[in-house]
Structure 1
Amino acid sequence: MPIKIQVASSDPLSTAVDVLVLGVSEGSPSGEGVLAKLQESLGEAVPKQLKRDDFSGKKDQGVEFTTYERVKPARVLVVGLGKGPHSDVDVRLLAAKGARFASTARAQSIAVVVPEGIAGGEQAAAEGLVLGSYRFTRYLTGDRLPKSSLERGTVLVQGKVNKGGRDAVALGQQVGESICIARDLINEPPNELYPEALAKVAVSVGKERGLKVTVLDKAALTKRGMKLILAVGQGSARDPRLIHMVYTPKGKPKAKLVFVGKGLTFDSGGLCIKPAPGMEEMKGDMGGAANVIGLMAAVAAMKPAVEVHGIIGSAENMPDGAAYRPGDIFGSLDGKTVEIINTDAEGRLVLADCLAYARQLKPDFILDNATLTGACMVALGPTVSGFFSNREDLAERVKTATRASGEAMWHMPLVEDLREGLKSEWADLKHTADRWGGAITAALFLREFVGDTPWIHVDVAGPSMAHKAYGIYSKGGTGHGVLTFLRLVDGYAR
């Protein structure tokens, strides 16, 4: 069961919880605020422990105190916030760290003190509590099941609790749970999650959140001429799907925004098969699609004054006798013909048909996100996404959104000289170029299918899955990108 979160304005040290989480700015005097009151109750043990751990409030520092029933919380976790000024990004991180600590300590209840004067602090704290307490336990049985879970969370604020605060916490919980939908999908094993099953999840989320959902099966894809999606999926016993989710606001929308996700529920590499070590992680090659479903769930909760479309191309890339081959040439929904070079570069083919489909909606922008290239991970590491855009003003909006969300993304260039590598002697395009600049040439290929539409491509290959928990992210599927996309939506809505 997900954690249940409430908001309160009670004295932190009089709040009966298993764990109280307190943020401290770097360089702030330890003799002030809740920390000073904790010292009054616990005595010299507090400054001694802070000195022993060399705690100064730097980011990632943390000190735990057992209170021996001298105050209501059984434990107090003091977390460094780093140098100010602070924002809701710091509050979300504080809450997530606290919730992860509480889960490890087998606590059932937690309270987080929201620092004063931070806009959006209540919502961010609720998001952090949900994200930090996340566990994927669906396939654990017997002794492997967790003995306890974090059941109750309290967001502690200064002053009187009002309707705005309660609504913010409720929305924060819904946004956090929406991101956890993406995490669940990424963590699902590929024998359970295949294109048809992914489509069923999208339909279920749509029914719960009041979204319109349309699913195109193999026959519908064939009728529309979406030959690239079909090519990728033709080696699998599981047919591909295109999923189209729509949120429509009340009144006239201020904008129409389209988010596209790559949904390869398993990528063996096809005939250009991947090495066995690490192939099990290819269950997460639908991280972009998972993000779109999570995003659409969150958008339905936010109710922004913009029309939002979520489009997912889902297939399984398998190497049977019907699989597509290097040297094959296929048409596309856009009309361009594409020569296949490497069957392990399948994601851009699926996205190409999805982008052409999205373009027909005449949106204000299209944003695609995908676990697309190892080259992006080589360039930026495993915790940073690369993004590309055909509009500088749109790239600036993305930068603003990433700063507001706290997610790590870096603006990458569309190097025109590398476009030469996509020229084919036998078709309109090759779908891969030389090894060098692989993330860039993948983006240049995708650009061929968006026409004049403002467009962003986000390569989430690194941060979509994590080998260990960090920041607000859990081990396994992370949902990295959803918070940034929400900030983009909110910017257009405002």
Structure 2
Amino acid sequence: MNFEIQKRALSSVIRDELDALIVLWPSKDDALVSGQDPIAVLLQAALRHGDFEHKPGAVLSLYAHPGVKARHLVIACVAEGTVVQVRSAVNAAWTALKSSRIKRIGLHSAADLSPQVLQTLVASLADASYSYTSTLSKPKPRTLKQVVVSAHTVTAGLREALAHAQALVAGVEVAKEWANRPANHSTPTMLADAAKSIAKAASFKCEVMGPKEVAKLGMGAFLAVAKGAAEPLRFIVMRYNGAATGQPPVVLVGKGITFDTGGISIKPAAEMDEMKYDMCGAASVLGVFKALGELKPAINVVGLIPATENMPDGLAVKPGDVVTSMSGQTIEILNTDAEGRLVLCDALTYAERFKPEAVIDIATLTGACVIALGGVRSGLFSSDDSLAQALQLAGDASGDACWRMPLDDDYADGLKSRYADVANVAGRQAGSVTAAKFLQRFASRYPWAHLDIAGTAWKSGAAKGATGRPVGLLLHYLLARANEKAVKTTSPRSTSTRRS
């Protein structure tokens, strides 16, 4: 989709030849509805008769309304204009339009736009109009091609926000595409090819390692998970170099289990098809790198994706087996369905070689996190308070929220093993926390955070599909870090760069 923003009055926008015009209306404002233009007259009547309410997501939908050239007109209330309210209004407006073939749409804000609201508008409309097509014999692709945003005031900050929003949409849709694909259309090799394609842009590098290279590195935990799979593993290393060579990078580690049967500890059959989404962490890393290529911020970022299937054949790792990780720590694998932490722990050790500013791993790691936080917020675990705070703020600002969870040392007691340095699972209690405590053992040499996205990466039921989260959170965090570094670099008093 193509997005543009214009400084326009609503009295001008209603004369445009559009397939549809969505007017976003704030909470009750007599000044906005007291005029005599077609929209004001319409709202006066609708409010008088109770056909339109000042509540988030309320809509008034019309076709071929006199005085408005757009075929479809939808007025949607954004109330006070919070991220949640704006998203609700856009979703409701698109619901009223989605059965029509809309190619060019106008999106007018009756109130002043902030950069955050603008990004929410664009991201929400892109999300609502998204259509998966890759494996359909008769696909119904998205018809929406152009979105023209208008407001009474358009600043340089809004134009920058629109560029960020467009890059975010591109990144989110890459993440959705690869997460939504069935496992036979999203193998580790295919993920690696996708990474190579993204890395063709300037300032990128991509290295892909196979089983021999991974074995040479001593990644015994990663190799153990891959033993039962016919599809060969791939360890993908992506680099975006947007800043000086000596600037420490932020490392993103995405869990890439392209299908998770549970291995020998096999999962129940019901809804196992959704285990194609167990690589949403990897998909989010691909999405972030796609967005970085669009925006080219002054920051260095490394992406690590350990990609494999978790399958139960005769060579598969067994409950009770002990393996040696890249760090040298031995691990007793009590449950082969706790495989994500095994591939991640070796990638976290590999991350040390980049002398990173921070390392963030992203994984659909535990059902326990779904029980704790549902599908609203991702679980955030961190050994570094400043990094945790930055990620929490990025989540709140982007509308891709997370919630910090505890990492008390007492939670690690259940991971003790008689036969190895650590077990890969503890008991049922606090499962998301004990999983994070396992990962923390391998991330002691840098500021580290873990995002458990098991509840937020995809939706089930009638709305089944990937959400593209947490691309928004991660991109917002990285851009904020790039801006902080730019300010420190240009400041006459700056002598060093703060570490997260």
SS in 2 for 1:272: coil
Give distance in 1, aligned partners of 2:435 and 2:47. 55
SS in 1 for 2:319: coil
Mapped pair 1:368 → 2:354:
no
Structure 1 residues 95-121: Cα deviation after superposition (integer angstroms, max 9, x where no partner): 565455433433222111244151355
Residues 104, 310 of structure 1: CA spacing in aligned structure 2 closer, same or farther, 3 A cutoff?
A: farther
Tell me the CA shift for residue 139 of structure 1: 2.2
Which residue identity does 1:32 align to in structure 2? L
Structure 1 residues 18-44: Cα deviation after superposition (integer angstroms, max 9, x where no partner): 221222223433x61699733456486
Structure 1 residues 292-317: Cα deviation after superposition (integer angstroms, max 9, x where no partner): 00011112222222111111111100
Q: List alignment gaps of at least 5 residues for structure 2.
A: 484-500
Tell me the CA shift for residue 82 of structure 1: 2.9
Which residue identity does 2:126 align to in structure 1? V
8 Å Cα contact 2:35-2:41 kept in structure 1: no
14-23 or 371-380: bigger deviation? 14-23
In the alignment, what sits opposite 1:154?
148
SS in 1 for 2:480: helix
Mapped pair 1:74 → 2:67:
no
In the alignment, what sits opposite 1:380?
373
8 Å Cα contact 1:229-1:349 kept in structure 2: yes
8 Å Cα contact 2:174-2:287 kept in structure 1: yes
Which residue identity does 1:157 align to in structure 2? A
Mapped pair 1:186 → 2:179:
yes
Which residue identity does 1:136 align to in structure 2? Y
Structure 1 residues 37-74: Cα deviation after superposition (integer angstroms, max 9, x where no partner): 3345648653356x135x11x22333323343431122
In the alignment, what sits opposite 1:222?
215
Residues 300, 44 of structure 1: CA spacing in aligned structure 2 closer, same or farther, 3 A cutoff?
A: closer
8 Å Cα contact 2:171-2:291 kept in structure 1: yes
Which residue identity does 2:80 align to in structure 1? K
32-41 or 289-298: bigger deviation? 32-41
Residues 76, 475 of structure 1: CA spacing in aligned structure 2 closer, same or farther, 3 A cutoff?
A: farther
8 Å Cα contact 1:130-1:173 kept in structure 2: no
Residues 98, 5 of structure 1: CA spacing in aligned structure 2 closer, same or farther, 3 A cutoff?
A: farther
Of 115, 119, 122, the match for 1:126: 122
Structure 1 residues 181-208: Cα deviation after superposition (integer angstroms, max 9, x where no partner): 0000010011111111111111111114
Which residue identity does 2:480 align to in structure 1? G
Tell me the CA shift for residue 258 of structure 1: 0.7
Which residue identity does 1:414 align to in structure 2? L
Residues 168, 399 of structure 1: CA spacing in aligned structure 2 closer, same or farther, 3 A cutoff?
A: closer
* CA-based RMSD: 2.5
Mapped pair 1:113 → 2:108:
yes
Give distance in 1, aligned partners of 2:241 and 2:96. 39
In the alignment, what sits opposite 1:199?
192
8 Å Cα contact 2:458-2:467 kept in structure 1: yes
Number of aligned positions between the proteins? 479
In the alignment, what sits opposite 1:242?
235
Give distance in 1, aligned partners of 2:292 and 2:189. 23
Tell me the CA shift for residue 393 of structure 1: 1.9
Give distance in 2, aligned partners of 1:239 and 1:374. 27
8 Å Cα contact 2:116-2:398 kept in structure 1: no
SS in 2 for 1:456: strand
61-70 or 130-139: bigger deviation? 61-70
Structure 1 residues 462-481: Cα deviation after superposition (integer angstroms, max 9, x where no partner): 11001369xxxx74011111
8 Å Cα contact 2:131-2:140 kept in structure 1: no
Alignment of 1:467-478 (within 5 A): 467=460, 475-478=464-467
In the alignment, what sits opposite 1:64?
61
In the alignment, what sits opposite 2:468?
479
Residues 340, 387 of structure 1: CA spacing in aligned structure 2 closer, same or farther, 3 A cutoff?
A: same
SS in 2 for 1:175: helix
Of 433, 457, 461, the match for 2:450: 457
Give distance in 1, aligned partners of 2:64 and 2:35. 13
Which residue identity does 2:63 align to in structure 1? T
Give distance in 2, aligned partners of 1:60 and 1:383. 18
SS in 2 for 1:137: coil
SS in 1 for 2:185: coil
Structure 1 residues 309-356: Cα deviation after superposition (integer angstroms, max 9, x where no partner): 111111100000000000100001111000000011100000000111
In the alignment, what sits opposite 1:344?
337
In the alignment, what sits opposite 2:288?
295
In the alignment, what sits opposite 2:23?
22
Alignment of 1:46-65 (within 5 A): 46-47=46-47, 51-53=50-52, 55-56=53-54, 58-65=55-62
Which residue identity does 2:70 align to in structure 1? P
Tell me the CA shift for residue 246 of structure 1: 0.7
8 Å Cα contact 1:407-1:481 kept in structure 2: yes
8 Å Cα contact 1:38-1:46 kept in structure 2: no
Q: List alignment gaps of at least 5 residues for structure 1.
A: none
Residues 27, 210 of structure 1: CA spacing in aligned structure 2 closer, same or farther, 3 A cutoff?
A: same
Of 407, 428, 439, the match for 1:435: 428
Give distance in 2, aligned partners of 1:441 and 1:238. 30
TM-score relative to the length of structure 2 = 0.89
8 Å Cα contact 1:17-1:74 kept in structure 2: yes
Alignment of 1:417-432 (within 5 A): 417-432=410-425
Alignment of 1:165-180 (within 5 A): 168-180=161-173
Give distance in 1, aligned partners of 2:90 and 2:291. 19
Which residue identity does 2:146 align to in structure 1? R
Tell me the CA shift for residue 125 of structure 1: 3.7
Tell me the CA shift for residue 483 of structure 1: 0.8
Residues 278, 407 of structure 1: CA spacing in aligned structure 2 closer, same or farther, 3 A cutoff?
A: same
SS in 2 for 1:15: coil
363-372 or 386-395: bigger deviation? 386-395
Residues 291, 93 of structure 1: CA spacing in aligned structure 2 closer, same or farther, 3 A cutoff?
A: farther
Tell me the CA shift for residue 385 of structure 1: 1.1
249-258 or 344-353: bigger deviation? 249-258
453-462 or 146-155: bigger deviation? 146-155
Identity of aligned residues (%): 35
229-238 or 402-411: bigger deviation? 402-411
Structure 1 residues 190-245: Cα deviation after superposition (integer angstroms, max 9, x where no partner): 11111111111111111146521111111100111111111101101011111111
Give distance in 2, aligned partners of 1:215 and 1:410. 33
Give distance in 2, aligned partners of 1:77 and 1:35. 18
Alignment of 1:351-362 (within 5 A): 351-362=344-355
In the alignment, what sits opposite 1:265?
258
Give distance in 2, aligned partners of 1:133 and 1:47. 29
Give distance in 2, aligned partners of 1:267 and 1:207. 30
Tell me the CA shift for residue 124 of structure 1: 4.5
Which residue identity does 1:135 align to in structure 2? S
